[in-house]
Amino acid sequence: MTNQKKLLLIDGSSVAFRAFFALYNQIDRFRNNNGLHTNAIYGFHLMLDNLLERIQPTHVLVAFDAGKTTFRTEMFADYKAGRAKTPEEFREQFPYIREMLAARGIAYYDLAQYEADDIIGTLAKMAENTSEDYQITVVSGDKDLIQLTDVNTVVEISKKGVAEFEAFTPDYLMEKMGITPAQFIDLKALMGDKSDNIPGVTKIGEKTGLKLLLEHGSLEGIYDHIDEMKKSKMKENLINDKEQAFLS
């Protein structure tokens, strides 16, 4: 008999958004007698059922974003600027998703100034560092959370619909991209993130970012050896956008 505990951490904001758009083409079917759209609620419910049955967790928490203003917007005013307005059909369902979780006895949490992935990252690291034996599963639609994968942590990114996920472990990340979780953080710093309006380094995409990291090991390693690089537009961009890279 094992004493291992299974912790399931769900990025509620991201998963609800994925559920909403997974069933968006049927949105008119998902409306109750009062006119409330229910496609996100229904999709979230299905996704939750799938995860609970498959993972059989002993502990579950769903984390939500608390609002648009976070410590990141204080550091970088343009963070997530320019995003399209959240559809009202989606926004109106959020209170009912929380009610559904409460009715099922599933804990949910948000924290002012922080995003769901901050809560998840903190709890995952706390569970890893405790004396208890935890197997951790993180579920999100946001690839940024891949950085959390560890020997005891699997990160599942939703791919299609409400039941298909891509499971990232350190071995799978190495097989798929040739980098470690720590290097994944540096890759995101180099590339930036258009969806969050994070600039990164101009004209450095995944292919170039991976090449630089494989050659130099880390973001710090790239800049430690930048004087040795041949003159090029890429080198110029790295120098000019250094502050943006480390901010990311």
- The pTM assigned to this predicted structure is 0.90
The sheet with strand 134-140 has its strands ordered as 107-109, 59-63, 5-11, 134-140, 153-160, 164-168
Residue 37 reports pLDDT greater than 60: yes
pLDDT tens digits, residue range 58-111?
Answer: 999 999 998 765 645 555 545 454 557 889 999 999 999 999 999 999 999 999
First to last CA, the chain: 44
The single residue listed with the structure tokens 């059989």 is: 56
**8 A C-beta contact, residue 15 and residue 65:** no
Domains for the chain: give ranges and CATH numbers.
5-175 (3.40.50.1010), 178-247 (1.10.150.20)
pLDDT tens digits, residue range 200-222?
Answer: 999 999 999 999 999 999 999 99
Q: Phi and psi dihedrals of 154, rounded to 5?
A: -105, 135
Burial 91-122 (b: 16+ CB within 10 A, else e): eebbebbbebbeeeebebebeeebbbbbbbbe
